[in-house]
Structure 1
Amino acid sequence: MLTPLLDIDVELAAPQSAGRSESGERRCVPITGGRFSGRLQGRVLAGGADWQVLRPDGLADLDARYMLETDDGARIEVWSRGLRIGAPEVMARLAAGEAVDPAAYYMRTAMRFETAAPTLQWLVHRMAVSIGERRPDLVRLKVFTLD
């Protein structure tokens, strides 16, 4: 069963490219902040990043690690692996920084959490999935636990 957990807005800086290889363009997208709400509320801390490979077939392989801080000060490490794919013209519009209807592409991640907060250990023992939306300056994630 999927249970709603969080809505996360992850703010992003401009991507940093390491260049193209046969497997695709490797890049790092720095995470600069953001907010989250739902079963927990708080902010996304600056300093994380999404390490991506933009493959020749148009698939974006996503591997993000970042930190959440709840309003009461608990910190939660997030590890999110996933993908984004759409028609070539849709992916080109996203790459150009345009706002694109999220129904026009597929963006999903599997998520794990780590925290030292005793009251949040239930998060460590749950897998989560997200439905993502790429906006020009942020990623919006609707996160659900797999119960």
Structure 2
Amino acid sequence: MKLERLAAFEVRLDPPLDLGASHRGRRRVINIIGGTFEGPRLSGEILPGGADWQVLHPDGMASIDTRSTLRTHDGALLQLTTSGVRHGPPEVLRRLARGAAVDPADYYFRLFCRFETGDARYLWLNGILAVASAARSADAVHYEAYAVG
């Protein structure tokens, strides 16, 4: 197995909408307002309109569940779905929640990425699985995605 770099992503976010506690945990929706991605075979913009339908669990772990639409530099439209987890020491998670700058080495934030498109130039994305290491800032998520070969 090998990893091939796909792109670096910057996903800009609205403040979280807190839906409150449910039987699964505290539900939040974090709207995606735009962003960019840049890599050797994949670059362009992240369109507004997607979101992270996140669950915060009692132990502090966040379950990540996003859907977004990407427009490549040459006009193709792609759907990107990510799922993952973010967790760490309680004091680190509190600093993240306040929007403070936190070293990504101080917490765990990993994503599984799937792409979908009908554009012939990017059909290769439909058949790959990708993984990413992520970091949260006050108003964005930054991650490097790699195709699993």
What range is the shorter-chain TM-score in? Answer: over 0.9
Q: Which residue of 2 aligns with 1:77?
A: 79
Percent of matched pairs sharing the same residue: 46
Q: Which runs of 5 or more structure 1 residues have no equivalent in the other structure?
A: none
TM-score under structure 1 length normalisation: 0.98
Give yes or no for the alignment of 1:10 onto 2:28: no
2:35 counterpart SS class: strand
Give yes or no for the alignment of 1:146 onto 2:148: yes
1:132 to 100, 123, 134: 134
Q: Which residue of 2 aligns with 1:33?
A: 34
Q: Which runs of 5 or more structure 2 residues have no equivalent in the other structure?
A: none
How many Å apart are 1:22 and its aligned residue? Answer: 4.6
Tell me how far apart the structure 2 counterparts of residues 121 and 18 of structure 1 sit (CA, whole Å). Answer: 37
* RMSD between superposed Cα atoms in Å: 0.8
Tell me how far apart the structure 2 counterparts of residues 66 and 22 of structure 1 sit (CA, whole Å). Answer: 26
How many Å apart are 1:116 and its aligned residue? Answer: 1.0
Count of residue pairs the alignment pairs up: 147
Contact 1:23 1:56 in 2 (8 A): no
After superposition, where does 1:93-112 map in structure 2 within 5 Å? 93-112=95-114
AA aligned opposite 1:45? L
After superposition, where does 1:44-55 map in structure 2 within 5 Å? 44-55=46-57
2:96 counterpart SS class: helix
AA aligned opposite 1:51? W
**1:36-82: CA deviations, max 9, x gaps?**
10021110000000010010101000000001101111011001000
How many Å apart are 1:119 and its aligned residue? Answer: 1.2
**1:86-125: CA deviations, max 9, x gaps?**
0000001101111100000000011110011101111000
1:142 counterpart SS class: strand
2:125 counterpart SS class: helix
1:87 to 64, 86, 89: 89
